[in-house]
Structure 1
């Protein structure tokens, strides 16, 4: 017999419910959706900051794209190696966030200060190291089977953007620290300012204006470099003027510098850097593979890559929220709540990325017009956006699950899982479909879809196993 019920909603209206089973299902769903506001409150500034950070490169591509497809392909090639260095550096800096979140959950400010100060030393040193590394590997650009005119333009752009690794890594130290304290708005403001500075500098330096010469893509590189320096000074100024950060900004004495703390950060940071390296490395490989088909396919690949990277920044924001909130629960030793909060983030990103997937499929012929008016480039980019639409779900989910695993400080096995997904499965498929079957960039992106799906599946299974294990162990002790 079917039972009909009415329940009262928060706005005092009666809502029809078909059966007690439906009530139970709604309550189960509400257990996760009730956390959406908390997740978004924390994640939104991070999303905006991440989008703002990406916008620096996106603005470069849009403004450089007006110069021509060869220039756009040159920035793509120049950024390909820089992105690998950035992924390594960011991976190390990401270790700061869960450690700060755990210390914040424990209300231990001295522990948080030590982690922050050691993290800042590490990220600054890494910035200089990455510049040196990028300079040393620069000759690789001549041996990637890329069009000569693209390589010639890419070199000076690459050299300047490489220098911007120093201010970028210093900023990351500040950003991951404030993210760990759930004070996410400061990095957002800094990146908004960065974009304003970058747009102005791009306009006057790329095209030439008033006393400024026309530098084209070199002007775009200078704009990025200068705007990142401004970003660091602004971030420090904002934190220094707030009394609540005084204890954290108090510099370590020499006797306070601890090898143990460095090793703890590196122990978390190195596997995280590998995770990012494996993923960014795969996408960089697609840039190089696409470049072997000529400047126009490479330009189309860059357009699709930049657009999919933009939506990925939303996943990054939710992922950091998952890291922080899971890290807080680790500090409180509340694993049941940890699992519920984490799954609320997984559900949230699934819904958001589903909307983006629909947008990519519907506007695939329109979005490339932001970058170029070349019909051949637009046609290739539109076909790639179809694939990008389908991998939105898996790309978003794997990023947020990784954030949850970082909150658990579980990084070694996830690194191995991402290696399997991207390089044991993904790259061979990309190469086989793209080069062997001569499907071009479209075949390469099918490989990306498969890699991201495998990654999301493996990482979710890992998180599910760990959280169930933690809950079971705690229940046995009590």
Structure 2
């Protein structure tokens, strides 16, 4: 990151940070995308099983990733304040914290996963696929969380193109492993959706080993000597990281869990409905990588400027990012409107599932604008280390307002399963409005404080 002095320079630097992050996010999500698509071509049962498994895995994984994202603003502000000597210690403690978190989650899964799945009214074969898919994924939890910490470190230095290259290398590995394990190649049995979980877990280990090699041997990362000095566990540092990370993780969990909750409500409908819903939701999540990438880019840019107490620059980055994200969201919405039937055909050849998917994609179009506003605002707020209110907004918008609206429309009108999607859209819209006013207040307060100090 370098200090900028004009809007043009800011657009150039933000774009330079954003593009590699976007490619990285698309590649990371591509693993889940190919899990779903390739499982769908195995059978509708495998698609439904992966859908249920993903609905449990995604909020847990993204929530935990959100907790560890605290590393990004911490490191960005340290660099902005020219305190690089403190970075390596924060990263090392973040790695230890990620390992501890993964161990706790696995223990929790061992105790409650089977019982939780048994509470759903699913076909036995769908339950079996979901259970073993999640078991397979759990073997990749620790490496992907450690990789998240390393990625936050790399990105906070402004070297987002490095994580892009790492992820691009891993994506074809995931596709190849999916092909082998899902369809049974090279003498292995066809495992369907369960094979997708095995492939993803192995890919997570590949991601970790590549990142470790880069950080250990390549500059400027090797200069921080993260692995050359062993540090004991510092609960005080863990608390500092969790104080910022937990609200971020909770906010992300509330947002992703609402989609998971809707998928679980869908279990009351037929396997075809579950498959169509999951296919449409999977593609919507793919498009969400655009505003989410802008969110991550703004955390880096805004955090760097806030660390240097350049609050006017931080404000300019915020609104540049929101404007760019809205423009990209409009482009995605128009494309989805025109090509939704083509998109549906990517996921399945079953005509009934294909028609159901295309219908759900109509509602996915309206996700784009709300996401295009809310996600970058969240990223800007993280750059200010303002995270507590965001988690409250997420809970109120999605669970107090959005979900009840969806349930009411699904149960009390003829919309049926589509009512849940209208509820999701409502929750996203409420969140975007609330977060915008929060960002405006934080920026105003920061500028006033700067004037008082001056």
TM-score of the superposed pair, with normalisation by structure 2: 0.95
Between 247-256 and 139-148, report the one with greater CA deviation. Answer: 247-256
State the distance in 2 between where 1:254 and 1:167 align: 19
Post-superposition shift, 1:92? 1.0
1:349-368 equivalent positions in 2, closer than 5 A: 349-368=325-344
1:65 to 40, 65, 74: 40
Going from structure 1 to structure 2, the CA distance change for 1:149 and 1:261 (only over 3 Å counts) comes to same
Aligned residue for 1:27?
none
Aligned residue for 2:209?
233
1:255-266 equivalent positions in 2, closer than 5 A: 257-266=233-242
Q: CA offsets, 1:212-266, max 9 Å, x none? A: 2222222211111111111100111112111422343334866665333221101
Any idea what SS the aligned residue of 1:364 has?
A: helix
Q: CA offsets, 1:250-306, max 9 Å, x none? A: 348666653332211010011111101101110001111122111111111111111
1:49 to 19, 24, 29: 24
Aligned residue for 1:5?
none
Aligned residue for 2:424?
448
2:165 aligned with 1:194 = no
Aligned residue for 1:174?
150
Aligned residue for 1:396?
372
2:199 aligned with 1:223 = yes
Between 255-264 and 124-133, report the one with greater CA deviation. Answer: 255-264
1:274 to 232, 235, 250: 250
Aligned residue for 1:416?
392
Going from structure 1 to structure 2, the CA distance change for 1:33 and 1:369 (only over 3 Å counts) comes to farther
Kept in 1, the 8 Å contact 2:301–2:317? The answer is yes
Going from structure 1 to structure 2, the CA distance change for 1:362 and 1:50 (only over 3 Å counts) comes to same
State the distance in 2 between where 1:74 and 1:137 align: 18
Which segments of 5 or more consecutive residues in structure 1 lack a partner in the other structure? Answer: 1-30
TM-score of the superposed pair, with normalisation by structure 1: 0.90
Going from structure 1 to structure 2, the CA distance change for 1:282 and 1:39 (only over 3 Å counts) comes to same
State the distance in 2 between where 1:90 and 1:434 align: 32
Aligned residue for 2:320?
344
Aligned residues: CA RMSD: 1.8
Between 122-131 and 277-286, report the one with greater CA deviation. Answer: 122-131
2:52 to 69, 77, 80: 77
State the distance in 2 between where 1:65 and 1:327 align: 41
2:423 aligned with 1:429 = no
Instruction: Tell me how many residue pairs correspond in the alignment.
Output: 449
2:188 to 212, 216, 222: 212
State the distance in 2 between where 1:451 and 1:320 align: 22
Any idea what SS the aligned residue of 1:52 has?
A: helix
State the distance in 1 between where 2:213 and 2:8 align: 37
Going from structure 1 to structure 2, the CA distance change for 1:460 and 1:363 (only over 3 Å counts) comes to same
State the distance in 2 between where 1:150 and 1:260 align: 44
2:83 aligned with 1:108 = yes
1:375 to 311, 333, 351: 351
Kept in 1, the 8 Å contact 2:291–2:375? The answer is yes
2:61 aligned with 1:86 = yes
